[in-house]
Amino acid sequence: MKKRPVVVVTRRLPDVTETRLRELFDTRLNLEDKPLSAQELADAVKTADVLVPTITDEIDAAVLEQAGPNLKLIANFGNGVDNIDVSAAVAKGIAVTNTPGVLTEDTADMTMALILAVARRIPEGARVIPDGNWAGWSPTWMLGRRITGKRLGIVGMGRIGQALARRAKAFGLSIHYHNRRHVPPKIEAELEATYWESLDQMLARMDIVSVNCPHTPATYHLLSARRLKLMKPDAILVNTARGEIIDEGALTKLIEAGAIAGAGLDVFEEEPAVNPRLVRLARQGKVVLLPHMGSATHEGRVAMGEKVIVNIRAFVDGHKPPDRVLPSML
């Protein structure tokens, strides 16, 4: 009988995913759902045939150097692979896969929710009644900003950016985008989207900016201090991609100074740590902070698990995994 591959899973996954993994493979689960320590991660790569990490696991060259000879696949439970040194993995003959496409609608929903939350001051309003601070309706109290008729600049017009554009168009927003290249003419026409080759020029003219590009070495601090200063003082910035894409310190200073009106952030540079100054701004109602929950739906997590299983099965059966990631793709 063929030996079942050892699959090490670094965090708790949906029950249906864990059950199926145990049916198919010799699966080692993390029942406590605590991030693995450096030593535990080293032990995992030494013993596994397949590693199933998440975005909280830093699989860098130092970790990969400790990998045992049997580790041949890293099946990431996540859309991105910025937690994995893909080049180092491939150099050691280890394939890397991810779970693209299944989180598109969920993340676009949350991005649109953050745009509304910041513009209409929803979290502030939601606290008023529970805190016992409501004295009744007033014509000049808790005024937010109308989004209909405003310009939305999308940084990164991939699946999520396009899904956001469809939602935003229904809310009456004018769609603008910056991307490495034009989206197909049919999609651009459907979304009535305006392409900006210059990110600088787009940022200076938008009422709302949404970050929806992947985190790669090329996009680290893509929204730098210099670029953030180009934004209009009444503009808002939303990020549901990765915290490292924005210079968080510079953004905080600009909001504190009133040079940017506000922000909605679901991701942070030093997760799970959050800049205390951002927390203070949240208490003042100037930013909305969410704990990286843009893709957190039951349906999305189960779909991610299904992709992990498909990738592992294809690889174990000697086929090319459908979601393989290569250095040239990053």
What tokens does 78 get?
A: 């996540």
Question: Which is it for strands 26-28 and 50-52: parallel, antiparallel or unpaired?
Answer: unpaired
Q: What's the CA angle centered on 71, arms 69 and 74, to 5 degrees?
A: 155
Among 271, 277, 306, 324, which one carries the catalytic annotation?
271
Give the whole-angstrom CA distance, residue 280 versus residue 285.
9
Q: For the chain, what is the radius of gyration of the CA atoms? A: 22
* Helical axes 104-119 vs 159-170, angle rounded to 10°: 50
In the residue annotation, 319 being an active-site residue is answered as no
Among 11, 159, 178, 242, which one carries the catalytic annotation?
242
Q: Helix (H, G, I), strand (E, B), or coil: what is residue 321?
A: coil
What amino acid is encoded at 284 in this protein?
Q
What tokens does 300 get?
A: 């999305």
How many Cβ atoms are within 10 Å of 268's Cβ, its own excluded? 21
Among 12, 292, 306, 324, which one carries the catalytic annotation?
292
Give the whole-angstrom CA distance, residue 330 versus residue 152.
26
- Which residues make beta-bridge pairs with 175? 152
In the residue annotation, 242 being an active-site residue is answered as yes
Q: 87 near 329, Cβ under 8 Å?
A: no
In the residue annotation, 277 being an active-site residue is answered as no
Residues with a catalytic annotation lie at 242, 271, 292
